Structure 1
Amino acid sequence: MKHISYIEDFKSWKEEFTFFIEISIRFSETDMFGHVNNVSPFIYFEEARTEYMKEKGLFTDLKNPTSVPVVADLQCDYHQQIYFGEKIKMYVKPNSIGKTSLDFHYMAINEAGAVCLTGRGRIVNVDPKTGSPTPLPKEATAVLVN
């Protein structure tokens, strides 16, 4: 596997993942060659991240939120092509937790057990009234470190 700037030791990095969702590749996510379009992995990252946060009980009050998680940056590395009709396991884990932000890492495994995508992204906790970064709720950091 090629060198990935945000991964120091691939083997130990890979073993740290526990949470995943299964994704069936839909036709609308592919290009004219039948493989996954280069924007689709970012949708998979969002889906896995959202399900992970829901499972952890985070950011669930969407009617009157005191803060909202906003994507600040995303990065994806493509390792193997993925095609319409295939299924992947999309893993997500928090990599680092700051005062107002989280850095998530992502890994997709295809049906043959090969890593086909890796990625990372910073999520900033924002006050919906001011649009400014705000500290992560204490319960969020407590849940994510365990």
Structure 2
Amino acid sequence: MFEKVIEPRMSETDRAGHINNTVIPVWFESGRDEIFKLFTPDLSADDWKMVIINFHVDFVHQLFYGKPVIVKTWIKEIGNTSLKVYEEIHQEGTLCARGEAVYVNFDLKKQKTERIPEDIRTILSLHLVGNQ
């Protein structure tokens, strides 16, 4: 599992003081940073490999400003050219959101998918759901 702590910003709240629902996908994406670095170590846009093709979010509990959140990211499936992640956001020990996203390893210059390299597959497999 990959884990990241995020401090909510005031600008991420709605009029009721809750974290706005549009922020959650952004936090999930931030939790994927270590996965992105496996495919593009310098995070260069010129060499970017990970293209999102699907995601969904389940909103489970309210989130609030002023309390840190923990984004937890696991690998759910590793295909030939794609991977599925499972994600959760927790605040004060409570599950507040969960989601899944599917990414494809994609060569932007050639405009085609590529097989996920074996060394990256090995690292990803260490983070499979159920391994932690």
* 1:51 correspondence with 2:34: yes
| TM superposition score normalised by structure 1 | 0.78
Q: Distance in 2 between matches of 1:63 and 1:70?
A: 12
Q: Distance in 2 between matches of 1:32 and 1:91?
A: 27
Query: How is 1:86-105 mapped onto 2 (pairs within 5 angstroms)?
Result: 86-105=67-86
Q: CA deviation at 1:38?
A: 1.2
Q: Percent identity?
A: 29
CA RMSD of aligned residues (A): 1.7
Please tell me whether the aligned partners of residues 52 and 92 of structure 1 are also in contact (alpha carbons under 8 angstroms). no
* 1:107 correspondence with 2:88: yes
Report SS of the residue matched to 1:86. Answer: coil
Q: Distance in 1 between matches of 2:74 and 2:94?
A: 18
Query: How is 1:62-141 mapped onto 2 (pairs within 5 angstroms)?
Result: 62=44, 65=47, 68-111=49-92, 113-141=93-121
| TM superposition score normalised by structure 2 | 0.85
AA partner of residue 118 (structure 2): K
Q: Distance in 1 between matches of 2:51 and 2:36?
A: 13
Match of 1:29 in 2: 12
Do the aligned partners of residues 72 and 52 (structure 1) sit closer, same or farther apart at CA in structure 2, a change above 3 Å counting? same
**Greater share of strand residues, 1 or 2?**
2
Q: Structure 1 stretches of 5 or more lacking a match? A: 1-17
Please tell me whether the aligned partners of residues 56 and 99 of structure 2 are also in contact (alpha carbons under 8 angstroms). yes
Q: CA deviation at 1:52?
A: 4.5
Please tell me whether the aligned partners of residues 86 and 99 of structure 2 are also in contact (alpha carbons under 8 angstroms). yes
Q: Structure 2 stretches of 5 or more lacking a match? A: 127-132
Q: Distance in 2 between matches of 1:71 and 1:87?
A: 26
Runs of 4+ displaced beyond 6 Å: none
Q: CA deviation at 1:132?
A: 2.0
Q: Distance in 1 between matches of 2:102 and 2:110?
A: 20
Q: Distance in 2 between matches of 1:53 and 1:68?
A: 8
AA partner of residue 26 (structure 2): I
